[in-house]
Amino acid sequence: MSEILHVNDIYKNFGAVQALSGFSMSVNEGEIVGLMGDNGAGKSTILKILAGNYLASSGTVNFMGKDVVFNSPNDARKQGVEVVYQDLALCNHLTASKNIYLSREKKKFFFLMDHKHMNDTSQGILDQLNSSARPNDVVSGMSGGQRQAVAIARTRLSMPKIVLMDEPTAAVSVAQVPVILEYIKNLQKQKIAVLLISHRLPDVMKVCDRIVVMRLGEKVCDKSKDLCTPEEITGLITGAIKSA
């Protein structure tokens, strides 16, 4: 697998608070990497740097073989980075199709929205994800799993190289967790890499190829899932085990 993302020696401070201290990691094409750590470990900070919400204080981000600086989420998206945030950022009063195309509406005759094209494309993406959601379904009436599918489907319009996912199973029922994990595996089948931030160790152990653990802004583990045990990962997160 070819490397598509490499962050090297990233530091990020907010005034006197040091959120990241020399953090480095890589993600390969079609790889699912689990990023774990306790609250305040720095997971969300590195995600927001990769998403274009924050600029690193120092260090480099190499994406698709080039050093890049994402000055905004739009910069990151243009390069092939998409994000599914924990709150999903969906408009409840709009349909699935309109959410998928929000701010990227397809036009015909220069000014009319091409609803048929948007519905057909949305249906195709939802089918690829094996979701029961339909383009004309209103988001407010959807289950947690269907809402998550719409948020993931929205990332597919730009044919991303990597999708950053922040706690995708945190707000769904236990019965819907396997559905979300299958959506993630379907992204991998399309050779799309996934950086999965999660507190749920069983989910990470089930779908990830590699696990990275952060503590206090630093990386303390970066290993193939097959070389990890749940007890070791838990110890690394809590600090009972210092590094691996």
Q: Quick one: pLDDT band at residue 70, thresholds 50, 70, 90? A: very high
> Max Cα separation, the chain?
63
Residue 171 has pLDDT above 80, yes or no: no
**Structure confidence at residue 128 (pLDDT):** 84
**Structure confidence at residue 221 (pLDDT):** 97
Report CA-CA distances (Å) from 136 to 31, 71, 104, 145, 155.
Answer: 32, 34, 17, 16, 18
User: Please, what is the average pLDDT of the chain?
Assistant: 93
The residue-averaged pLDDT of 69-94 equals 91
Question: In the block, which residue shows the tokens 């379907």?
Answer: 186
State the DSSP code for 56. Answer: -
d(CA 149, CA 242): 37
d(CA 236, CA 243): 6
Residue-wise pLDDT tens digits, 109-144: 878 889 999 999 999 999 888 889 999 999 999 988
Beta strands in 38-190 (DSSP E): 58-63, 66-68, 81-84, 107-108, 112-113, 162-166
d(CA 181, CA 203): 7
Contact 224, 31 (CB under 8 A): no
d(CA 88, CA 137): 17
